[in-house]
Amino acid sequence: MSAPKLSPVPSSQPERLHIFDTTLRDGEQAPGFSMTAPEKLEMAHLLANLRVDTMEAGFAAASPGDTEAIRLIAREVRGPTICSLARATEKDIDAAAYALEPAQRSRLHVFIATSPIHREAKLRLSRREVIQTIERCLKHAAGRFDEIEFSAEDALRTEPEFLVEALSCAAQNGADVLNVPDTVGYSEPDEIYRVFADLVEKVERPDHVIFSAHCHNDLGLAVANSLAAVKAGARQVECAINGIGERAGNCSLEEVVMALQVRADIFPAVSHADATQIWAASQRLSRMTGTAVAPNKAIVGKNAFAHEAGIHQHGMIADRRTYEIMTPESVGVPGSSLVLGKHSGKHALSQRLAKLGYQPDPDRLNEIFAQFKAAADLHGEINDADLVAMMEGYSASG
Ligand code: KIV
Ligand code: ZN
């Protein structure tokens, strides 16, 4: 409890962007992504390898199983701050405190909805009652966690002046992180930028308090919105491996981390995540939950570093920077692949044949190239065994 608050950085350094991973909470909440406690622990170790700043290990009050999974992670995993979600009730906060007891560093993530539709239809609370609830629950949490994060659920559909009031109230009652969720993925980047810029200007808070973005992907804008929030002053982004989360998911961790790294020239803050651990975490999550990653998914899809078109392959052979803005190794993918198919050219074919130990003369190469195109038209991708079969003059197994 005596540990320092989120540390400000010297002004000559780029500011730190905190990566808050919610794979094990918001991610796990999505249909089909439920994990057992040992599975959550295994993922938590992979997230620690990735050096996320905070991992939300679950929602302690949701079930006894989730309480135990959080406790297990809090006991076993070192490095990141371990966090539990809680509604703004004494009972939920107590459950989070119990689950986080063994943590080296703990964070409570307490939330209440602030938008009119949630206040009226779901909570049946007036604005005043919402403010009173924030005060009451933060007082109840005070001194029991190393850090406290407050979320104004459905913030982006909340009246701007009420959002300022709710967040100011949270900051003045002990919240260290003010999270501004786009709960239903309704916003677009310009709007998010304006909202965050306004909050940075107007919310009354102690100096160490930071703003956080939690963007859902209902319109496919979660990553773009999170990056816009960073430009406007957010210093924490909430995200999940493979972008999993409620409905269309959360901001994808791999995309936001790599956007910040590849385009460090335009962002005011840097993450300290170890991106080389991304692929291992993505693959493990996909196998554990039985949900394949789409081949064209940025960063971690099977095609993210695969090239089939002849022109692209020619460029890649000359200099991979022609068609790759990051190396596969930088995200832990073993290497790029030049996939041989009907769009591939002679250049790539002869390079692959050389790798397989063949150096046909130009006439033989022309012959093989014609055979290769005909086979690719029929079968799609041509693998090494097919090429050996062509060179040796026998039929390929497939
Ligand atoms: O999307 C959301 O609003 C949430 C909150 C609990 C932060 O997940
Ligand atoms: Zn969410």
* Paired tokens of 334: 């073993």
Q: Is 66 in the pocket of ligand 1 (CB under 6 A)?
A: no
Q: Report DSSP state, residue 6.
A: S
Give residue 347 CA to ligand 1 midpoint distance, Å: 51
Retrieve residue 312's tokens: 């692209």
Ligand 1 atom with least separation from CA of 181: 3
Contacts 24+ apart (CB under 8 A), 198-202: 198/160, 198/164, 199/163, 199/164, 199/167, 199/233, 200/232, 200/233, 202/164, 202/168
Sequence length of the chain is 398
**Burial letters 102-130, b for 16+ CB under 10 A, else e:** ebebbbbbbbbbbbeebbeeebebebeeb
Q: If you measure from the C-alpha of residue 246 to the centroid of ligand 1, how many angstroms do you get, rounded to a whole number?
A: 9
| Alpha carbon distance 396, 338 (integer Å) | 20
Q: CB of 214 closer than 6 A to ligand 1? A: yes
Pocket probe mutation, ligand 1, options 85, 110, 148, max atoms within 8 Å of Cβ:
85
151 lines ligand 1 (CB under 6 A): yes
The secondary element (H helix, E strand) that includes residue 19 is: strand 18-21
**Nearest ligand, CA 85:** 1
Please indicate whether residue 150, judged by its CB atom, sits closer than 6 Å to ligand 1: no
The beta strands (E) that lie in 232-322 are given as 236-239, 269-270, 306-307
Q: Is 115 in the pocket of ligand 1 (CB under 6 A)?
A: no
Q: Which residues contact 95 (CB under 8 A, 6 or more apart)?
A: 60, 61, 67, 84, 86
Q: What is the pLDDT of residue 11?
A: 52
Ligand 1 pocket check for 236: Cβ under 6 Å: no
What does the pLDDT read at residue 395?
Answer: 56
Question: What is the per-residue pLDDT for 341?
Answer: 95
Say what the pLDDT of residue 393 is: 87
Ligand 2 centroid–CA 240 distance in Å is 10
Question: For ligand 1, is residue 312 a contact (CB within 6 Å)?
Answer: no
Per-residue confidence (pLDDT) for residue 142, from 0 to 100: 98
The answer to whether the complex's ipTM is over 0.90 is: yes
What is the Cα–Cα distance from 188 to 177, expressed in whole angstroms? Answer: 23
Residues in the 5 Å CB sphere of ion ligand 2:
26
Query: Measured between alpha carbons, how far is 361 from 102 in angstroms, rounded to an integer?
Result: 68
Q: What is the pLDDT of residue 222?
A: 98
How close is the Cα of 277 to the center of ligand 2, in Å? 24
Q: Is 328 in the pocket of ligand 1 (CB under 6 A)?
A: no
Q: What is the pLDDT along the chain (398 residues), one digit of tens a residue?
A: 344 455 544 455 789 999 999 999 999 999 999 999 999 999 999 999 999 999 999 999 999 999 999 999 999 999 999 999 999 999 999 999 999 999 999 999 999 999 999 999 999 999 999 999 999 999 999 999 999 999 999 999 999 999 999 999 999 999 999 999 999 999 999 999 999 999 999 999 999 999 999 999 999 999 999 999 999 999 999 999 999 999 999 999 999 999 999 999 999 999 999 999 999 999 999 999 999 999 999 999 999 999 989 899 999 999 999 999 999 999 999 999 899 999 999 999 999 999 999 999 999 999 999 999 999 999 999 999 899 999 998 755 44
Ligand 2 centroid to Cα of residue 265, in Å, is: 29
Distance of CA 20 to the CA centre of its chain: 8
